[in-house]
Amino acid sequence: MTSAPLISARDLRRTYNVKTAGGWFSPTAELKAVDGVSFEIRAGETLGLVGESGCGKSTTAKLVLGLIPATSGSVVFEGKPVTADRKRAWREQRRRMQMVYQDPLGALDRRLPVGVQAMEPLDIFNEGTKAERRDRMLSFFDAVGLPRTSVDRYPHELSGGQRQRVVLARALMHRPSLLVCDEPISALDVSIQAQVINLLKDLQAQLGVAYLFISHDLKVVRHVSHRVAVMYLGRIVESGRPEDIMRAPAHPYSQALISAVPSARARGKGRIVLDGDPPSPVDVPNGCAFHPRCPLATDRCRKDTPELRPFDAERLVACHRAGMRIASLDGAAA
Amino acid sequence: MVDPLIRIDGLTIDFDTGRSSIRALHELDLEIKKGEAIGIVGESGSGKSITWLGALGLLGSRAHVSGSVRLDGREILGLGEREMAAIRGKRIAMIFQDPTSSLNPVHRIGRQLVESLVIHRGMSERSAMAEARRLLERVQIAAPSQRLSEYPHELSGGMNQRVMIAMALAGEPDLLIADEPTTALDVTIQAQILEVLKEMRRETGMGLVIISHDLGIVAELADRVMVMYAGRPVEVSPVDRIFDAPRHPYTRGLLAALPEIDGTLERLVAIPGQVPEPHALPPGCPFAPRCAEAKAEICNAAIPAMRTVGTDHAAACEMIHGSTTARQRVLAVA
């Protein structure tokens, strides 16, 4: 922990005002998409952000990149604050922090050859001569494992895996120090997913790029991350090393989430099945947001909101009952 | 020998694209016994969904379906729309990935359930409403009476999928075909749905076809697994053997490419290349171009047939048979 982190987020909050049901003149309610999230990522490291839909992972990604302004809190990237004002300083920063989305077809223009699109970031900042830009583009096509002949192809002529490689090449064109990946492999077929996971790890080893890796897939997150943060209803409920969290999750929600992952190798394992659905972020329960679904909840959980506190040397947990185990369906501790 | 519930012989599906025709399914054979749960695994385009859409006459006029599908010994392929409608929903029910698009958004849940009870079980409206309430209770929906008068948009995705399961159960089918039933759902909700499906099988003894790209889900629900690749089955076996002793190189490749939630963390072994397009299948074995074990003179010569490789275990790979004979020769010498 000697060197300064590449990026640090402090107490990020983002709320939206939404209309409650009942017509035009109904009162508005506050939707807390992200409710006090803090984390750091060091250079060349991967932080995996996991959670279910609506937990605020994608909003966190947008806040980190300054794509949307935060309601409160701050992000510092390479020593400078990230604003969302889209001015010159922000644009300079954005060369160093890039984004990859889930659907590569949606991120590419169907009417342009992929080589032209991959070169666009360099064209926009007018870097080097045209020949130099083309050379850099070709070298990144090599790096992501695309044949050089594919530069003149259109997106629909490539497979899903190849398209995601194009998107990656384009994102890396400015040699960023941070790549935010929002579900980068969820749209790919199983046999292609492994190719892209391996590629992401190779690129990190080669280029020293850090990843904020957002996914609902715990198995994938375990494979790519140095550290993991589990989110529930806009808050981080547990963070630490993936091996610690996957082997012995301390937060009851992490326990349920991990036990719910179907596994081909551990068939017939006990599983924790939670009752109900996650509550709406408009109507977050008092106290611990997880308490209505938590089998371990006590009176205190209904009143006091637990803070994220050190659980052991490597782990932070936000739970009054941290470390207690939920019994799984077959009776054994999961 | 008892007649199987369903017996599919040489099921072949061609799509008319105007100028040419594309074969999406090649001569599939499969038997399902009464009450059996079979998992169908494969990547997009492998033919896993189309098999069942074709068998139930749901593909429309541009698809040419040939071969034979017998239900209790009676041919159902080519039956008229009226006769088919009596089988669909009553004898064989199907649920899909996205429950909200299967439900009618402008009708209340109760009305939709009552409709299928009146059609398939010939109930009066009044007794159908009581039965609908009981069905919702069986799929563990809280406050069923209230839900009956709500619209699909008022329910969560997980709850809508329970409604779909309830509706499928309304006809008391012998076979439920579940096509990626949890792919659109969050992990903790997926766990709930998997439990409901297991519970329903225990209670009713109905057969289940679970179609999924997720080997973990199939491992959990199925007694037997069929792995498909490029419109053909490549391996069929009891569930334990598929995971503990897979024989086809594609099955083994898929298992090695899967990230896992526990165990030692190793680099994933990706399958190189991509799934061939149905209009550009390689000669011979469709997996040969991606297969590390393929020998051109054997694998490109002919399409391998499904052959027995063990008890209830069949695979379509020439190299397995090559190596078995070689091993037998070694054993004979010893």
**B32-59: average pLDDT:** 92
Cα B58–Cα B63–Cα B66 angle in degrees, nearest 5: 90
Among all residues of chain A, which has the CA nearest to that of B183? Answer: A186
Phi and psi of B129, rounded to 5°?
-65, -40
Whole-number average pLDDT of chain A: 90
Please tell me the predicted confidence (pLDDT) of residue B317: 94
Instruction: State whether B191 and A274 contact (CB < 8 Å).
Output: yes
Q: How far is Cα B46 from Cα B49, in angstroms, rounded to an integer?
A: 8
User: CB B261 to CB A276 under 8 A?
Assistant: no
Q: Model confidence at A269, in pLDDT bands (50, 70, 90)?
A: low
Q: Which of B240, B254, B274 sits opposite A159 (nearest CB)?
A: B274
Average pLDDT, integer, range A21-39: 85
State the pLDDT at residue A204. 96
Q: Which amino acid is at B246?
A: P
| Predicted confidence (pLDDT) per residue in A206-216, tens digit | 999 999 999 99
pLDDT given at position A120: 93
pLDDT of amino acid A22 = 67
On chain B, the residues whose CB falls within 8 A of the CB of A222 are 259-261, 265
Mean pLDDT score, A128-149: 92
- Reported as a single tens digit per residue, the pLDDT across A173-196 is 999 999 999 999 888 888 889 999
Residue A333: per-residue pLDDT: 43
CA distance B13 to chain A (A): 23
Q: To the nearest whole angstrom, how far is the Cα of B290 from the nearest Cα of chain A?
A: 11
Listed residue (B95, B253, B262, B287) closest to A245, CA to CA: B262
Q: What is the ipTM of this complex?
A: 0.83
**pLDDT at position A23 over 80:** no
pLDDT (tens digit, 9 = 90+) per residue, B180-239?
A: 999 888 888 899 899 999 998 999 999 999 999 888 899 999 999 999 999 999 999 999
Instruction: Find, in chain A, the residue whose alpha carbon is nearest to that of B250.
Output: A191
Q: Could you give the CA distance from residue A67 to residue A70 in angstroms, rounded to a whole number?
A: 9
Please return the burial class of B107, using the count of CB atoms within 10 Å of its CB with bins 0-12, 13-18 and 19+: middle
| Residue entry with tokens 């969290």 | A245
Selected residue of B40, B44, B186 to mutate for chain A interface (largest A Cβ count, 10 A)? B186
Interface test with B, best of A165, A263, A326 (most B CBs within 10 A): A263
Q: How many CB atoms lie within 10 A of CB A138?
A: 17
Taking CA atoms, what residue in A is nearest to B251?
A191
Task: Work out the end-to-end distance of chain B between its first and last CA atoms, rounded to an integer number of angstroms.
Answer: 40
> Closest to A264 (Cβ–Cβ): which among B194, B219, B271?
B219
Q: Which of B41, B163, B183, B188 to mutate to test the interface with A (most CBs of A within 10 A)?
A: B188
Say yes or no to pLDDT of B329 above 70.
Answer: no
Residue pair B28/B51 in contact (Cβ under 8 Å)? The answer is yes
Residue B260 contacts A where some CB pair is shorter than 8 Å: yes
Q: Do B243 and A265 make contact, defined as CB atoms within 8 angstroms?
A: yes
Predicted local distance difference test score (pLDDT) of residue A334: 39
Of A189, A220, A278, the CB nearest to B44: A189
What predicted TM-score, i.e. pTM, was given to this entire model? 0.88
Q: Are the Cβ atoms of B261 and A192 closer than 8 angstroms?
A: no
Q: In terms of Cα–Cα distance, which of A294, A323, A257 is closest to A57?
A: A257
With residues binned 3-state (H G I as helix, E B as strand, rest as coil), the percentages for chain A, rounded to 5, are 35, 25, 45
Q: Do B269 and A194 touch (CB under 8 A)?
A: yes
Closest residue on chain A to B269 (Cα): A194
Q: Which residue is closest to B264 within chain A, CA to CA?
A: A243
Residue A293: HSE in the Cβ half-sphere, 13 Å Cα cutoff: 25
Q: What is the pLDDT of residue A331?
A: 47
B223 contact A CB<8A: no
| Better-predicted residue by pLDDT, B17 or A228 | A228
Place of tokens 């033919």: B47
| Torsion sign across C-alpha atoms B194, B197, B202, B206 | negative
Q: In what order do the strands lie in the sheet with B21-32?
A: B21-32, B6-16, B63-71, B74-75
Q: Strand B224-229's sheet: what is its strand order?
A: B92-95, B175-179, B207-212, B37-41, B224-229, B232-238, B313-315, B307-310
Test A190 with B43 for CB contact under 8 angstroms. yes
pLDDT tens-digit readout, B130-155? 999 999 998 888 889 999 999 999 88
pLDDT digits (tens, 9 = 90+) for B227-283: 999 999 999 999 999 999 999 999 999 998 888 888 888 889 989 888 888 888 999
Per CB-CB distance under 8 Å, the chain A contacts of B272 are 195
Average pLDDT over every residue of A192-205: 93
φ/ψ of B315, rounded to 5, equals -145, 155
Question: Which of A165, A186, A191 to mutate to probe the B interface, most B CBs <10 Å?
Answer: A191
- In the prediction, which pLDDT does B327 show? 45
Spatial separation of the C-alpha atoms in residues A55 and A237, rounded to whole Å = 11
B59 Cβ under 8 Å from any chain A Cβ: no
As a whole number, mean pLDDT of residues A40-69 equals 94
- Pairs across A and B, CB distance < 8 A: 132
Chain B hits for A198, Cβ within 8 Å: 267-268, 270
Split at pLDDT 50, 70, 90, the class of A2 is low
The answer to whether A133 touches A122, Cβ cutoff 8 Å, is: yes
- B-chain CB neighbours of A278 within 8 Å are 186, 188
Of chain A, the end-to-end C-alpha distance in Å amounts to 33
Q: In this complex, which of B43, B219, B261 lies closest to A258 when CB atoms are compared?
A: B261
pLDDT tens across B55-101, in order? 999 998 889 999 999 999 999 998 998 999 889 988 999 998 888 88
